[in-house]
Amino acid sequence: MRYTTVVTSLAAVLSFGRSAIAVDLTRFGYANILQRASQLKDAYDYVIVGAGTAGLTLADRLTADGTHTVLVIEYCYPISDETLAASDGRWFVDPGISYNITSPPQPFMNSRSQAVIIGCCVGGSSAINGMVFLRGTKSEYDGWAELGGPNSTWNWEGVLPYFKKATHFNPPTEEMTQNFNVTWNPEVWASNGESRLEASFPDYGIPANDAFYKAAANMPNMPIPIDGASGKSGLFWHPTSMDNKKYWRSYSRTAHYDGIVRDNYDVITMHKVKQVLFDGTTATGVKFSVRGLNQTLTVKTRKEVIISAGTIHTPQILQNSGIGPKALLEEADIPVVVDLPGVGQNFQDHYWLTTGYNWTVGTGPPGFNKTQTGNLSTIAGPNLGALIGLPTYSNNSESIASRYESQDPAAYLPESTHPTVIAGYAAFQKLHAKLLRDVNSNWLWLPLIGSPGGIVMSKHILSSGTIKINTTHPDSEPIVDYRALSNPIDLDIMVENILYMRKFMQSSEFAAWKPVETAPGIEVVGEELREWIRSVMWSSNFHPIGTASKRPVELGGVVDEELRVHGTSGLRVVDASVMPSLPGATTQQSVYMIAEKAVDFIKAAQ
């Protein structure tokens, strides 16, 4: 297999989309997809906002024993099965199935705006994501617990059972393990029938990845854990969210919705939730409307409203419901139910260099002498990469960590930031100063896709963004401000990432292939390199988190340890927005874990 072909197919993961077809899913005989509010029951035990990654996971689990009724309200529409093939990934910028939001100009990115790409269909972002299936490390989830307070159960031991429960793991083929040293630890995965969310490997390995693996393994200090899912950093193979019977995308819809017919599980599509209804501070239901119409429909809940609208829209719904920073709500004439300064703060996403950062090789990697069968089209996305700690790849980790910890916590936050949010940032800063020195915290992701290219990604971000309603038009899309690179340490780290990529290319294994960095070129260093990063960097790898953070209220938190919105009852948030800090990983697996863990809290409250 010529690896130029592989480049073209894997480039899909990192570039552009194909169109999807909207269909009426009822013709497939799926669960109760409703299209008119008149078809709804008067009240449900649980009303879930958003049929996305977390929303459908919750709905499936909460309806399974038949004792409680659930309604899921989804803004977008179901898409057909026709585009499910793993190799045919319907990647991101497809306007048919993603929202159309752009950030304001980012001053530290040369005033460029960032496209805010999130999924819009039944399945949410899990329907359009790159299918890379990674967890963060033990240190990173222990950090979630640290930010949560002394009795937090969100440490590694407290999240691992839910990671296992969320996924059905399929080991790689014998041939893959022999040819590529794919190893895994069965203790951190489940292969029983608890979940239909499939994590699998392709049945074909890209030959050049054998050489890439060896070159990376030979880098000084490179750890090689048996399994990256066991809480450690290093070089490892990992699965994608793919069903290896059909080699199709596995996502929240196929895992938690398709084929489930239950009288107590309703989904209504093409309807938009505007706000949560309250009796005092107790959630009683939601106000919603047909998508695109200005009307008022309501549905009541007997137990809880659960917001799973994702990191971008969850804070918008909370703010429009009167839960958020008082000054913002007053500016929009929204009566304050709970003054909660953290709603929409603490917004984080992964920064990366993609098209624009280019390198190529003079001669191809050495040949592959093992026989191999299998099908290239079973590769859904990258399966190999190095996810490593700053001390593993930079001699500057200590100086960066001490510079970071000596910052005034308020120095790089917006001017009017509330004292509790600043206190939360101070705790975040203390945690990240520790993670900067930790070889088991992933700061760099170097995906290895068996071909030259040029992708480096920063897996922890120290700048803190905001999401606020548009105060003159609260119903239109919120203002999504990454505040990218506002904390200068993020730029220092991106520089280290590039320097490491250059070292990798110059390593003894690699040098024989005569690699050339074609853009920006290795002569570009220092201030010129920093300027170049500002001109090409993306401030989103589509992993937004943090805007309804799980933290104590004194630390600017929005939800408590059981994901209940502070100051309310009958209201939870369960989605990526509750993550208090980024895992050093892509985010979907953590979202499934959060949803599975939330189910236990919700059931315990029944």
Ligand X SMILES: Cc1cc2nc3c(=O)[nH]c(=O)nc-3n(C[C@H](O)[C@H](O)[C@H](O)COP(=O)(O)OP(=O)(O)OC[C@H]3O[C@@H](n4cnc5c(N)ncnc54)[C@H](O)[C@@H]3O)c2cc1C
Annotated binding site for FAD: 129-132, 273
Interaction between residue 479 and ligand NAG (CB under 6 A): yes
SS (H, E, C) 135-170: CCCHHHHHHHHHHHCCCCCCCHHHHHHHHHHHCEEC
Q: Where in 380-472 does DSSP place strands (E)? A: 384-388, 444-448, 456-458, 466-468
Answer with the entry of ligand NAG, ligand X, none that 543 interacts with (C-beta below 5 to 8 A by kind). ligand X
Report the relative pairing of strands 43-49 and 297-307 from DSSP bridges: parallel
Alpha helices (H) in 64-150, listed in sequence order: 138-148
Interaction between residue 313 and ligand X (CB under 6 A): yes
Contacts 24+ apart (CB under 8 A), 524-527: none
Do 338 and 281 touch, CB atoms closer than 8 A?
yes
Interaction between residue 227 and ligand X (CB under 6 A): no
Other C-beta atoms closer than 10 Å to the C-beta of 83 total: 20
Query: Of the candidates 6, 20, 47, 51, which one interacts with ligand X according to CB under 6 A?
Result: 51
> 577 CB contacts (<8 Å, ≥6 apart)?
310, 311, 314, 315, 544, 545, 546, 547, 548, 549, 558
Largest CA distance in the chain: 71
Answer with the entry of ligand X, ligand NAG, none that 92 interacts with (C-beta below 5 to 8 A by kind). ligand X
Query: Of the candidates 117, 176, 219, 559, which one interacts with ligand X according to CB under 6 A?
Result: 117
Answer with the entry of ligand NAG, ligand X, none that 324 interacts with (C-beta below 5 to 8 A by kind). none
**At 265, which helix (H) or strand (E)?**
strand 265-268
Please list every residue from 541 through 570 that binds ligand X, using CB under 6 A: 542-543
**Among candidates 345, 343, 336, which has minimal Cα distance to 278?**
336
Interaction between residue 108 and ligand NAG (CB under 6 A): no
Q: How far, CA to CA in Å, does 237 sit from each of 9, 49, 374, 513?
A: 19, 35, 17, 23
Choices 259-267, 436-444, 449-457, 584-592 (CB under 6 A): range interacting with ligand X: 584-592
CA separation for the pair 217, 442 (Å, rounded): 16
Answer with the entry of ligand NAG, ligand X, none that 313 interacts with (C-beta below 5 to 8 A by kind). ligand X
Please list every residue from 343 through 362 that binds ligand NAG, using CB under 6 A: 355, 358
**At 602, which helix (H) or strand (E)?**
helix 588-604
Do 296 and 289 touch, CB atoms closer than 8 A?
yes
Please list every residue from 448 through 507 that binds ligand X, using CB under 6 A: none
Query: Of the candidates 8, 191, 282, 395, which one interacts with ligand NAG according to CB under 6 A?
Result: 395
Output b/e per residue, 54-78; b: 16+ Cβ within 10 A. bbbbbbbbbbeeeebbbbbbbbbbb
Residue 41 C-beta: closest distance to ligand NAG, Å: 26
Choices 72-80, 195-203, 524-532, 559-567 (CB under 6 A): range interacting with ligand X: 72-80
Interaction between residue 87 and ligand NAG (CB under 6 A): yes
Answer with the entry of ligand NAG, ligand X, none that 128 interacts with (C-beta below 5 to 8 A by kind). ligand X
Do 77 and 269 touch, CB atoms closer than 8 A?
yes
Residue 222 C-beta: closest distance to ligand NAG, Å: 10
Residue ranges for the binding site? 129-132, 273
Answer with the entry of ligand NAG, ligand X, none that 358 interacts with (C-beta below 5 to 8 A by kind). ligand NAG
Answer with the entry of ligand X, ligand NAG, none that 560 interacts with (C-beta below 5 to 8 A by kind). none
Interaction between residue 375 and ligand NAG (CB under 6 A): yes
Residue 224 C-beta: closest distance to ligand NAG, Å: 4
> 24 CB contacts (<8 Å, ≥6 apart)?
33, 78
Choices 155-163, 431-439, 522-530, 588-596 (CB under 6 A): range interacting with ligand X: 588-596
Residue 596 C-beta: closest distance to ligand X, Å: 12
Query: Of the candidates 470, 506, 535, 606, which one interacts with ligand NAG according to CB under 6 A?
Result: 470
Per-residue tokens: 397: 């980790």
Please list every residue from 268 through 307 that binds ligand X, using CB under 6 A: 272-273
In the complex with ligand X, the residue whose CB is nearer, 349 or 438, is 349
What mask of x and - would describe binding to ligand NAG in positions 289 to 318, judged by CB under 6 A?
Answer: -----x------------------------
Answer with the entry of ligand X, ligand NAG, none that 182 interacts with (C-beta below 5 to 8 A by kind). none
Query: Of the candidates 378, 442, 581, 588, which one interacts with ligand NAG according to CB under 6 A?
Result: 378
Interaction between residue 159 and ligand X (CB under 6 A): no
> 14 CB contacts (<8 Å, ≥6 apart)?
130, 354, 355, 455
SS3 572: strand
Per-residue tokens: 524: 């570009």
Interaction between residue 198 and ligand X (CB under 6 A): no
CA separation for the pair 174, 154 (Å, rounded): 35
Interaction between residue 488 and ligand NAG (CB under 6 A): no
**Among candidates 421, 473, 550, 507, which has minimal Cα distance to 159?**
550
Binding residues vs ligand NAG (CB under 6 A): 85, 87, 95, 100, 149-151, 181, 183, 217, 220, 224, 226, 247, 294, 355, 358, 366-367, 369, 375, 377-378, 393-395, 470, 472-473, 475-476, 479, 518-519
Query: Where along the sequence are the contacts to ligand X (CB under 6 A)?
Result: 49-55, 73-76, 92, 117-120, 124-126, 128-132, 272-273, 308-311, 313, 317, 381, 542-543, 575-576, 586-589, 591
